[in-house]
Amino acid sequence: MGICPRPVLRSMPMTDSTSSAAHAPLVHASDIQDAQARMSNVIAPTPLQYCARLSEATGCEVYLKREDLQDVRSYKIRGAYNNVVQLTEEQRAAGIVAASAGNHAQGVAYVCRTLGITGRIYVPNQTPKQKRDRIRVHGGQFVEVIVTGDNFDAAAQAARQDAAETGATLVEPFDALETVIGQGTVAAEILAQLTSIGKHADAIYVPVGGGGLISGIVSYLADMAPRCAVYGVEPSGAASMTAALAEDAPVTLEKVDPFVDGAAVARIGDVPYQIVDANRGRIHMMHVSEGAVCTEMLELYQNEGIIAEPAGALSVTGLLEAKPKPGTTVVCVISGGNNDVLRYSEIMERSLVHRGLKHYFLVNFPQEPGQLRVFLEEILGPNDDITLFEYLKRNNRETGTALVGLQLGKAADLPDLLARMEASPIRCQQLQPGTPEYKFLT
């Protein structure tokens, strides 16, 4: 996990070519309140749920903003609706185009069917089947789903080309003011819900992908709760906002880990970047490992019964790693719950590796009777389980290699295990996460 030091809010000197209007906020609380009014008869507020487990773990009063309980299981419906509902009749007749890793697509699909507008939605190849199926359910006959490209950015390029060629309106998932304004209604609800129980927010933890949600939330807070800190939480494998702030401009990441699919964006949006850049003094950016996200997904499911997708668990993961000041009131945005049940084996695997409980070894067994018994009795500890045993090949007459996966009783058992391996005549090589061999074998 990494936390960027709190930066100083910078101002530019006034020159003949620089006006105060150039530095005025792009989005005001009043814009977000207007959006609330627009969507009030379509999108119901989501619950703000007190979390006893996280409150006890942090010493804070922790609330979860349950955007996973939207009709499309994600906050993305807010920006999509606020964007599309303001189109002219001519624009509606021409249809709309969108690109998404899955959640924005579901919001757009829902809006298409609700408003009777045809749309084409481009999603990358790694978008889980569950999300693709839900797009079709929400859009019905009004929506065509087109799968293309290896990541969101490739799908977005295809959508832009479609819009340019057909005259359809491109509905941006995060890089548009109307989308940002719609997402900002999350903050408006949070403050109203806390006020109704006599509370105020000291900090809000927000998942960050393309930047639409955090820029909408910080815009509302800047006007209505300027002392509330905002923590933007990115996956380590796609920390595009952190990179942009370091370079003072949006940059394109050379490589993106697609696992946290709802936040796997290689380049932050220009509009969100401008808003975040103008609010550096109240924003703390941090990034968390994909394995830590998996662990918190499982904790949310086991303890609170919340089915969070990887991006939806980013905020809680960030909260636990940031160690907030005890006694404060904290809100974590659970941004989405579109998770494919088929992914849970991978989620469990990543969590075990992150917690230091799962390890893989290449074990070179002497080709003599009883060597497996030696491995079981003299090397393994009493609480160690073999989860994988695959005999790979015989190197020569004397030895044969097996791939062995071990799950330890506790992470602290590893040094003793490695010491027993070192003392044994059976040669064992530990495979390290992140290496080509580890990725290939697991």
Distance between CA 314 and CA 287 in Å, rounded? 9
> Are the C-beta atoms of residues 170 and 164 closer than 8 Å to each other?
no
231, 298, 242: which is closest to 265 by C-alpha?
242
Place of tokens 């390890």: 359
The three-state secondary structure class of 269 is coil
The angle formed by the CA atoms of residues 298, 300 and 302, to the nearest 5 degrees, is 65
The string over 329-365, giving b where at least 16 C-beta atoms fall within 10 Å of a residue's C-beta and e elsewhere, is bbbbbbbbbbbbeebeeebebbbbbbeebbbbbbbbb
Residues 6 or more apart whose CB falls under 8 angstroms from that of 94 comprise 166, 167, 168, 169
The three-state secondary structure class of 425 is coil
Q: Judging by beta carbons within 10 Å of its beta carbon (0-12, 13-18, 19+), is residue 146 exposed, middle or buried?
A: middle
Catalytic residues: 76, 335
CA 399 to chain centroid: 45
CA 169 to chain centroid: 27
